[in-house]
Amino acid sequence: MISILSPSKTQDFADDSVDVSKIGHTEPSLLKDSSVLVRELRKKSVKDLEKLMSVSENIATLNQERFQHFSTPFSPENARQALLAFKGDVYTGIDIHEYKKADFKFAQEHVCIISGLYGLLRPLDLIQPYRLEMKTKLSNPKGKDLYQFWGHKITEQLNERFKAQKKKVLVNLASNEYFKAIKPADLDAEIITPVFKEHKDGKYKTVAIYAKKARGMMTNFIIQQRIDSPKKLKTFAEDNYEYSENLSSDKEWIFVR
């Protein structure tokens, strides 16, 4: 069983509260493809990046500098493990500061992060600072946007990962923007999408900020409890969530509170 996450625009490469020397690191499997994208992005001016990414001048300037400083090979001196670097809403629910080496090892085998720049990341894959959302319409040698650039590669990488899994199940904890980078018809696995809803005004509704945090909490639950069977997901009860049999379907599992 493999769980997928979206990346985070918020990143921290200075936090030293986790001893990275004890958990090891790996290299992104599609790093050569990342370098192709960086070459395209280096051609862009600050104004180009402002328009392309729909960001402020300051953010565009920061990311132009990042792309100019992107360099391989990656090492602990110039990059950081993805699970440690991402710090957005989803990742607040992943308690890496409590993890032991065995937790990181399980995460490495059972969690993947889909990325606009890196394609598919394992938690201990090194990354350098970046901002490149999957929906970005960056013209590239393979097409008009990142979906065309990555094509079937992310799906192929996942299929490789599934060869080592007993349960061929993909737990989709990514946003729609990133899930769209997968080709479900070509994936050698069943797909289950957990959805988190709040009871409000007599109805159950998805509230984006809470749903993001819940995705992180479920990922943390999977890692720390060594969940390797989809049925065990239904026992998830963090932060007062509970599985709703009545609201759920075979492919979409609803958790409410």
Six-digit token string for 200 = 């409000």
State pTM to two decimals: 0.96
pLDDT of residue 22: 79
Q: Residue 4 above 80 pLDDT?
A: yes
Q: In sequence order, what are the residues at sequence separation of 6 or more whose Cβ sits closer than 8 angstroms to the Cβ of residue 175?
A: 6
Nearest to 124 by CA among 141, 110, 144, 139: 110
Q: Which residue type is seen at 30?
A: L
Are 226 and 106 in contact by the 8 Å Cβ rule? The answer is yes
What's the mean pLDDT in 59-74? 97
Q: Residue 237 above 80 pLDDT?
A: yes
pLDDT tens-digit series, residues 100-134: 999 999 999 999 999 999 999 999 999 999 999 99
